[in-house]
Structure 1
Amino acid sequence: MTTVTPPVLEHTCEVGLRANDFDWAGHLNNSVYPQLLETGRWEWGLAHGVDARGGTQVAVVLQLHLDYLQAVDWDPVGRLVVRTSLVDRTAYSFTLAQDVELHDGTKVARGRVRLGLMDRETKRVHRVDLGSMLAGAGGTS
Structure 2
Amino acid sequence: MRIVILFAFFGMLLSKKSLAQSNPLTKIYLYNGGSIDIKTRESLNQPIRVSGYTLVETNLDSLSLSVLGDQFVSVPFERGRTYYFRAVGSGVTTEGSFTTSTEQEFWLNVNAFRRASHRYRHYLLDKESGLKLLEEKR
Task: Specify the TM-score bucket, using the shorter chain as the normaliser.
Answer: under 0.3
Looking at secondary structure, tell me which structure has more strand per residue.
Answer: 2
Q: TM-score, structure 1 length as denominator?
A: 0.22
Looking at secondary structure, tell me which structure has more helix per residue.
Answer: 2
